[in-house]
Amino acid sequence: MSDHRIKGVSLTGSEAAGASIAAEAGKHLKKSVLELGGSDAFIVLEDADIDKAVEWAVVGRINNNGECCIASKRFIAVEEIADTFFEKLQHKFANLVVGDPMDSKTELGPLCNVEAAVHIADQVKRAVSGGAKIALGGKRMDQAGAYMEATVLTNMLPDNPVYYEEFFGPVAVFFKVKNEQAAIDLANDSPFGLGGSVFTQDIERGKRVADQIDTGMVFINHPTWTQADLPFGGTKGSGYGRELSELGIYEFVNKKLIRVSELSDPF
C-alpha cells in the first residue's frame, strides 16, 4: 500500500480483512472501497404473490449453494401469510436436487471446501444450543464432499450467540412478525447492510418499505442481485463505496476543476 503507484484499493472479503485494508489505506491516504459480509432480509408482506415469493426465496438463498454475500439469508414474513410461505419454502428446500455442480439438473452442490461445510454446520449447532429450532436439515450430508443439507432455522432470538452472524451456505433463518413495521425493524436489526428484498403487489408500498431499510440495495419482488449497470455496495458492517455502474467507475476517479477566467473578472 505504501508504493506510490497504488492509488486505491478495492476489497471483497470479510469484516476483519476489510478493517485491516481500511486501516492500511488510511495510513497511506489511499482511497478504499470495501464490499464485506451480508445478511440480507427477504421480507414477504401479506399482499405478496406467495408462490412467486417462494420461487425467488429459493433462488435468493441457494444461489451459488448459499455462498454469496448478497444471498437472501433472513426470511421475514408477516403473520397473515407466514405459515403458508413457511410451509411452501420448506417443501421447496426439502426437494432440491443435490449433486454434482457440473450437472445441469443439480440445484444444490457442495460448498467451496470442507472447512466451509464444517464451519456452517458448527454455526447451526451453536444456533440450536442458543435456542433456535431446526425445521429442516441442520447437518452435513453423509456423502463425500463439502455438502451441507438445505437447512431452515426458526426461533432465532437476539440473545442467540449466532443471531448477528452471517450464514454463508444453504441455511435460511425464518421469522414470523406481526406487521410491516415489525418486518422493517427486524430487517434493520443486523450489523450488516448489503442488500434486501421486499415482496408485495403494491409497488408504492414496496418503495416505502425499501426506503426504510438501512442497506445499500433493496430489490422489490426479486432477491438482491448484481448487474453491470447497477451500483453495488452496502452500509454498516457490509462496507462502503460502490462497485459497478457509473458510481463504481467514479470511486477511483479524481475529479479536477479547470476554470478559465478573463483577466478583468473579479476574484
Contact partners, residue 229, CB within 8 Å, separation at least 6: 244, 245
Between the alpha carbon of residue 142 and those of residues 145, 146, 248, the distances in Å are 9, 10, 43
Selected catalytic residue, list 15, 24, 35, 149: 35
Run of H or E including 18: helix 15-27
35 assigned to active site? yes
Between the alpha carbon of residue 127 and those of residues 87, 120, 152, the distances in Å are 21, 10, 12
Distance separating alpha carbons of residues 187 and 204, to the nearest angstrom: 19
Selected catalytic residue, list 68, 69, 149, 166: 69
Residue 221 in 3-state DSSP?
Answer: coil
107 assigned to active site? no
Given 3-state DSSP classes, what are the helix, strand and coil percentages for the chain, each rounded to the nearest 5? Answer: 30, 20, 45
**Which positions are annotated as active-site residues?**
35, 69
